[in-house]
């Protein structure tokens, strides 16, 4: 597999699995606006995954659906950050915000790629992700505005920080640290990244649920 | 140019216009008052003999109607008796700035505030919080209720004047 396909699948898997995790709030988010917001974000992340899978599929001679649903859990390349099961709200926001901050760094890098297809898709994704970032930033402001919100948000960021580092290649991690520390006005603990390639047991459970319908009709189903 | 070349060139021109005219009848499946051509998402039409290729840009990549739109465009072209290929462009070639003036007017009539122009730099929340005009009563005393709405391309706003919630096409 080429380095390009490997990269496409890593980002696609991040977006698919995070989209799935976000969708777990549908119907039970703290209030209606957030229910709509997280459902919409989830839909869009999964749309990004589909587009990235299509590029990878063209190279591998397969289809986006096969890449999304027919691999074994161990073959997914998503960062452990997105695998974690639905977290309580402060941690959900911390994960979204850390992911979007990392993803922006990654997309900025890709937009400058010599590969026109990659640069084009990154530019498109980046415009759409701007709304996800606005949403996350709005929540960071809101949490930082109260003592309890601050405490719970900082706890969540510290806990998820090693996972957040694992979203990016090593060369981009210092930039992530710089942005996160600047925004929060505090230093982050020294941490070892939890790397892509590790599979949390929660991913297997998610995979089981996500692929259940497809596995139940191996010859394909018509609705 | 020989006489024969000229006639070929001419018939292509006519056909291309016919294709655009046909595509102009394909409604947006979720906001049917505007056509996909009004939205500016049909980027190019290329004709080679009896094969027509249409380049189409999604508004948002997470748009659930993507495949439906692709199929509707292809079927419309095929009605002209040619083969159709609809290619989805996965790049930044479409912006809400490409919505035609007629398209913006149709959106307004249907109760959607048209999008603000694409900013030159980063999109800021404050730009979206400004008082956009209510499509029902025309007041600018409106506020952003939710960045997200029923589809990825829409936000929810609220008019303080006529107390009517309304949707706005997101700037992209």
The Cα of A29 is separated from the nearest Cα of chain B by a number of Å equal to 14
Q: What does the pLDDT read at residue B7? A: 43
Domain count for chain B: 2
DSSP letter assigned to residue A171 = G
**A192 — alpha (psi -120 to 50), left (phi > 0) or beta?**
beta
What residues in A contact B122, CB-CB < 8 Å? Answer: 130
Q: Is the residue at B53 inside a domain? A: yes
* Least reliable range by pLDDT among B60-74, B81-95, B115-129, B141-155: B115-129
CB A194 within 8 A of CB A165: yes
Specify whether B79 is located in the same domain as B7. yes
ipTM above 0.90, yes or no: no
CB-nearest to A36 from B92, B146, B172 is B146
| pTM for the model | 0.92
Specify whether B83 is located in the same domain as B127. no
Q: What residues of B are in the A interface, CB distance below 8 Å?
A: 58, 60-64, 66, 90-93, 122-123, 125, 128, 145-152, 156, 170, 172
What residues in B contact A134, CB-CB < 8 Å? Answer: 123, 125, 128, 147
Residue-number span of the structural domain to which B123 is assigned: 103-169
Q: What does the pLDDT read at residue A176? A: 98
CATH of the domain at B82: 3.30.300.130
Strand pairing report for B142-146 and B154-159 = antiparallel
A112 touches chain B (CB under 8 A): no
- Where residue B9 falls among pLDDT bands split at 50, 70, 90? very low
Q: What does the pLDDT read at residue A218? A: 80
Work out the percent of chain B whose per-residue pLDDT is above 90.
71
Residue-number span of the structural domain to which A78 is assigned: 3-214
Calpha distance A107→A123 (Å, rounded) = 7
Q: Is the residue at B46 inside a domain? A: yes
Q: What does the pLDDT read at residue A220? A: 76
What residues in B contact A39, CB-CB < 8 Å? Answer: 148
Residues of chain A with pLDDT under 50: none
User: What would the mean pLDDT of B53-66 be, rounded to a whole number?
Assistant: 91
Domain count for chain A: 1
Q: What does the pLDDT read at residue B8? A: 47
Q: Is the residue at B71 inside a domain? A: yes
Residue-wise pLDDT tens digits, B112-159: 999 988 888 888 887 787 778 999 999 999 999 999 998 889 999 999
- Where residue B3 falls among pLDDT bands split at 50, 70, 90? very low
Calpha distance A174→A151 (Å, rounded) = 24
Calpha distance B46→A209 (Å, rounded) = 43
């Amino acid at each position: 597999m080429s380095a390009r396909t490997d990269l496409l699948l890593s980002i696609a898997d991040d977006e698919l699995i995070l989209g799935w995790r976000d969708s777990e709030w549908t119907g039970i988010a703290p209030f209606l606006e957030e229910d709509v917001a997280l459902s919409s974000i989830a839909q869009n992340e999964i749309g990004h995954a589909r587009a990235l899978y299509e590029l990878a599929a063209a190279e591998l001679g397969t289809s986006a659906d096969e890449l999304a649903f027919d691999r074994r859990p161990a073959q997914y390349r998503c960062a452990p950050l997105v695998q974690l099961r639905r977290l309580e709200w402060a941690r959900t926001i911390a994960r979204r915000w850390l992911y979007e901050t990392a993803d922006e760094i990654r997309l900025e890098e890709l937009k400058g790629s010599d590969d026109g297809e990659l640069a084009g898709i990154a530019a498109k994704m980046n415009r759409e992700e701007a709304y996800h970032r606005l949403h996350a930033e709005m929540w960071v402001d809101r949490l930082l505005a109260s003592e309890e919100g601050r405490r719970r948000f900082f706890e969540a960021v510290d806990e998820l920080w090693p996972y957040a580092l694992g979203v990016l290649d090593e060369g981009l991690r210092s930039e992530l640290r710089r942005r996160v520390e600047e925004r929060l006005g505090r230093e982050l603990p020294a941490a070892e990244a939890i790397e892509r390639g590790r599979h949390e047991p929660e991913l297997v459970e998610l995979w089981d649920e996500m692929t259940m319908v497809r596995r139940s009709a191996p010859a394909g189903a018509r609705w | 140019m020989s006489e024969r070349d000229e006639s070929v060139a001419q018939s292509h021109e006519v056909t291309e216009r016919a294709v655009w005219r046909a595509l102009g009848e394909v409604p947006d499946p979720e906001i049917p008052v505007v056509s996909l051509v009004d939205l500016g998402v049909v980027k190019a039409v290329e004709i080679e003999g009896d094969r027509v290729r249409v380049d189409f840009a999604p508004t948002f990549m997470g748009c659930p109607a993507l495949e439906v739109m692709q199929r509707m465009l292809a079927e419309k072209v095929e009605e002209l008796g040619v083969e159709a290929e609809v290619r989805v462009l996965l790049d930044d070639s479409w912006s809400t700035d490409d919505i035609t003036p007629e398209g913006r007017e149709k959106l307004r009539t249907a109760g959607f505030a048209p999008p603000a122009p694409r900013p030159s730099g980063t999109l800021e929340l404050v730009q979206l919080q400004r008082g956009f005009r209510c499509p029902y009563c025309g007041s600018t005393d409106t506020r952003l209720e939710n960045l997200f709405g029923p589809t990825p391309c829409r936000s929810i706003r609220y008019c303080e004047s006529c107390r009517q919630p309304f949707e706005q096409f997101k700037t992209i």
